Amino acid sequence: MTKKYVSLLLVIMLPTLLLTGCWDYHDINMTNISISTGVDIVNGQIEYTGEVAKIAPAQAKGNENGGGGIGVYNFYAYGKDLEQARAAFDAGVPYPHFLGAARAVIFSTSYAKQSIAPYLHRIAQINDYRKTILPVISRDHPAELFKLKVESDISVAFLIEDMMSSLTKQGKAIYPTVGHLLSDDDIKTIGELIPYVGIEEGSIKYLGLAVLKNLKMVGTINLKDTSGVVYLLAKKPSITENLPGIENKNNTFSLLTSLKKRTFNTDYVDGKLIINIDMNFDATLNYQYYTESTDEKKLKVLEDLVAQSIQGKIIKIIAMSQKEFDCDFIGFAKYFRAQHPLIYRKINWEESYRNADFFVNIQVNIHNLNLADPNARTLYFK
């Protein structure tokens, strides 16, 4: 059994151990273990699809060692609504369905534009489901994703979850959960963001973020524009900023930024919503295309350029939220409600947010130039 299937077996068995008092080989062998679920609208019907892990018995046909194994197969079911589609699925499988090992739920854009609320509330009410499951929206039909042969991971669900988990740990993406979406939806005045994926050159790729308002998809943010969101929402954003050279315009400075402090302060003056964003960053030089000497003046110019780049990305994403999506998907309402609860109850947040003034203050300290320039070493250590 390969290493990746051992990992899958561990993921499958741990929830089973936690959720049951006792079990034996026969019990787990006679269970359909869901890894992922896809929800789509096809020809006016709900298409309920996904991936199931099936543990084969020791006498499994085709296993020359007689040691059993793990297989991943796809399922498909249809109905006029979720309940009929699930009933059609249950009617066609020989074993009960276990949902506790599911890694992701994938919604099609057509389903998400109508509302993903019904399925999220279904997850919330079914005890088997983990509330930390990752929700994503796919540009392509979920069934098309599940048909792909995944070379780099165990299954489609594991690939998507591992991809988003890795990017989030690197400080380059956000990782929402079903629980987070439902919690934000309770506030009603804010939107939500979830990963947007699709098939590119025969592989599943992270394409950006889908924007939801009242749990209905209202648009997408292209991957190249998601940095502003990451700066504002990620726990530890860490993004590379590429800047033109100071003396040599053909040069490029590549600097890795890391957040030190982030504060949101809100106010309401003369009927106007005011939101102040203050962020402090450290930055480290990754490389330059061509070595340029650096003195204190040039270092300050570089710091200002990095700050302006970060500020521009944040201002762009805020402008998109106000004008393009008319939706507070960053969640500034949570801060205003905490800081000014009485005023929050009296105002129309959506209207106030639409016309709010934002002040974005970014401070950057380049604390390491990797000693690529002897002048930089003198500057840093003197």
Exposure of 255 in the CB half-sphere (CA atoms within 13 A) = 26
User: Sorting pLDDT into bands at 50, 70 and 90, what band is 70?
Assistant: low
The pTM score is 0.85
Q: What is the CATH number of domain 229-381?
A: 3.30.300.210
Average pLDDT score over residue span 21-46: 74
- Average pLDDT of span 195-203: 95
Who wins on pLDDT, 151 or 225? 225
Q: Inform me whether the pLDDT recorded for 17 exceeds 70.
A: no
Contact 74, 146 (CB under 8 A): yes
- pLDDT at residue 30 is higher than 80: no
pLDDT of residue 290: 86
DSSP H helices, the chain, are 3-19, 25-29, 82-90, 109-114, 117-125, 142-147, 156-169, 178-187, 227-233, 296-319, 332-339, 341-346, 349-354, 374-381
Residues in the chain: 382
> How many other β-carbons are positioned within 10 Å of the β-carbon of residue 323?
9
pLDDT value of position 101:
80
Half-sphere exposure of 108 (CA within 13 A, CB side): 20
DSSP secondary-structure letter at 63?
-
Give DSSP secondary structure letters for 163-227.
HHHHHHHTTSS----HHHHHHHHHHSSS-EEEEEEEEETTEEEEEEEEEEETTEEEEEEEGGGTH
Return the domain boundaries, the chain. Answer: 3-225, 229-381
Torsion of Cα atoms, 306 then 311 then 312 then 315, to 10°: 170
**Cα Rg of the chain (Å, integer):** 25
